């Protein structure tokens, strides 16, 4: 718009100057112009002057652009080939995974769950909750959990629900463990020195940058009051762990489902991969072991019971992942490559969804130039629905045909129930534990969402490309 206005102003200025000059000359000389002279001097002359000016300006700009391009063009030896540039652009970015932890409703840690992949425990009947026929419901609830350890039923200005209290009780040991790991990962601050200046003792305060971001994701139905308390509580736990308050920030957000958490992980991979910030602690907690939640699920026919074999099993848990920029890591550490997601067409059938799942896993390995046998564990989010289990198994076999589906795949919702926003971080925890313990890659597949498919890989960077994601010497 500014360019158009500039050109219009130039044309008007040319006409004004030309007309003024010609009319001034005619009046001073006493000339009486004819009709053809008026057309020539008042019409054709200003149009010709304007056209000549635009032609000269465009020619000058073209010559200047060519000169700048020639000066800025790199040498042919320094210019990457088209194939190299394409490979670099298609390869996903990665971010280091320094530490992970989780607490689920079933009393098993990551190592025990992976060891039991061939015979996973199943949720049991819980006598506290019943369906409309009075029969107990399947639940995966933590036994003997002190749900008043962090949140009380009445917190003075606001009340809390059982789901919020249980989730925060599960989060406490996870947060403490990962905050301790973050303290060890961050470089030590230099001690501020005291100096004597003009007879006065002065302490030089050090300028400290905020290098660690701490974020907690909770379900969308948590109240604003509870989320505010969680932010203050997390700030206090971080300071109690020894972290300098100037070096970290705390944020509490909401996530409706696992898909929103995966979106958050993608954004973190982009930001932390660029070093802004260098360290990022992502936490999440959720619980469906609550009379109000169970009643709502029964009303919406979402829960598994005798008359709804395709429903969900309520579960609970907390999990967290400490990410870091690969360049700040002092020893070889597993990395997670940026999760890849594709959207499915609304009318896609079962065969098309399965084909997309298979292609996504193979495409991720192909972009990383990893051999299929590098993947020795596949973790996925399929629950007790047989169609999802078939999709996950087909995708795992497409990635590595030699996988033992019974022992080298693990469906976390089958044994832990519905985890909501905790599921992605729990899967990353299992994948990280497998990579460290088995020194091989773990593939994560997301097949439960009706409108999308997801794939993520956790492995050591040296198995993919020794020159990429290099680490600093210890």
Give the pLDDT score at 180: 97
pLDDT tens track for 373-393:
999 999 999 998 888 999 999
Taking a C-beta distance cutoff of 8 angstroms, is the pair 103, 170 a contact? yes
Q: Locate 407 and state its tokens.
A: 């022992």
- Per the DSSP assignment, residues forming a β-bridge with 358 are none
- Let me know the angle formed at the C-alpha of 338 by 335 and 342, rounded to the nearest 5 degrees: 145
Residues of the chain with pLDDT under 50: 1-2, 64-65, 67-89, 204, 466-474
- The β-bridge relationship of strands 94-104 and 124-130 is unpaired
Cα distance between residue 341 and residue 360, in whole Å: 8
Chain centroid offset of residue 270 CA: 7
Q: Which residue has the tokens 């794939």?
A: 455
Cα distance between residue 474 and residue 461, in whole Å: 17
Phi, psi values for residue 385, rounded to 5°: -70, 125
Mapping DSSP onto H, E and C, the string for 236-247 reads HHHHHCCCCHHH
Cα distance between residue 334 and residue 460, in whole Å: 4
Rounded to a whole number of angstroms, the distance between the first and last alpha carbons of the chain is: 56
Taking a C-beta distance cutoff of 8 angstroms, is the pair 327, 96 a contact? no
Taking a C-beta distance cutoff of 8 angstroms, is the pair 201, 194 a contact? yes
Q: What is the tally of helices (H) and strands (E) in the chain?
A: 13, 15
Give the pLDDT score at 201: 58
Which contiguous run of DSSP H or E holds residue 452? strand 452-459
Taking a C-beta distance cutoff of 8 angstroms, is the pair 454, 261 a contact? no
Give the pLDDT score at 279: 96
């Amino acid at each position: 718009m500014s360019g158009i206005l500039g050109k219009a102003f130039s044309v008007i200025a040319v006409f004004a100057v030309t007309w003024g000059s010609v009319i001034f000359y005619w009046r001073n000389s006493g000339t009486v112009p004819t009709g053809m002279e008026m057309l020539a001097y008042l019409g054709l002359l200003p149009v010709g002057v304007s056209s000549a000016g635009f032609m000269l300006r465009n020619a000058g700009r073209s010559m200047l652009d060519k000169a700048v391009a020639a000066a800025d063009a790199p040498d042919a030896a320094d210019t990457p080939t088209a194939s190299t540039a394409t490979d670099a652009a298609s390869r996903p970015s990665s971010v280091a995974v320094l530490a992970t932890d989780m607490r689920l409703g079933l009393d098993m840690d990551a190592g025990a769950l992976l060891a039991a992949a061939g015979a996973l425990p199943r949720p049991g009947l819980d006598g506290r909750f019943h369906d409309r026929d009075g029969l107990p419901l399947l639940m995966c609830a933590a036994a003997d959990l002190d749900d008043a350890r962090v949140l009380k039923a009445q917190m003075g200005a606001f009340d809390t629900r059982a789901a919020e209290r249980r989730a925060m009780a599960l989060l406490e040991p996870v947060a403490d463990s990962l905050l301790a790991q973050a303290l060890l990962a961050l470089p030590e601050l230099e001690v501020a020195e005291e100096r004597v200046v003009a007879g006065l003792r002065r302490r030089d305060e050090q300028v400290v940058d905020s290098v660690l971001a701490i974020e907690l994701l909770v379900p969308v139905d948590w109240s604003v009051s509870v989320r505010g308390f969680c932010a203050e509580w997390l700030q206090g736990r971080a300071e109690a762990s020894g972290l300098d308050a100037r070096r970290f920030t705390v944020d509490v957000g909401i996530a409706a489902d696992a898909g929103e958490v995966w979106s958050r992980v993608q954004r973190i991979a982009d930001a932390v991969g660029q070093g802004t910030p260098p360290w990022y602690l992502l936490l999440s907690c959720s619980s469906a072991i609550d009379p109000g939640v169970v009643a709502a699920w029964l009303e919406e026919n979402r829960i598994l019971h005798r008359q709804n074999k395709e429903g969900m099993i309520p579960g609970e848990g907390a999990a967290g992942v400490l990410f870091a920029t690969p360049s700040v890591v002092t020893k070889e550490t597993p990395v997670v490559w940026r999760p890849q997601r594709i959207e499915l067409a609304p009318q896609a059938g079962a065969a098309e969804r399965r084909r997309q799942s298979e292609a996504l896993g193979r495409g991720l390995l192909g972009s990383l130039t990893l051999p299929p046998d590098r993947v020795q564990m596949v973790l996925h989010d399929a629950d007790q629905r047989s169609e999802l289990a078939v999709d996950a198994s087909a995708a795992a076999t497409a990635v590595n045909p030699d996988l033992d589906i019974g022992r080298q795949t693990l469906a976390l919702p089958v044994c832990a129930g519905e985890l909501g926003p905790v599921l992605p971080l729990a899967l990353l925890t299992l994948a990280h534990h497998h990579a460290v313990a088995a020194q091989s890659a773990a593939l994560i597949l997301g097949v439960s969402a009706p409108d999308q498919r997801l794939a993520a890989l956790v492995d050591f960077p040296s198995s993919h490309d020794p020159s990429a994601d290099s680490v600093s010497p210890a």
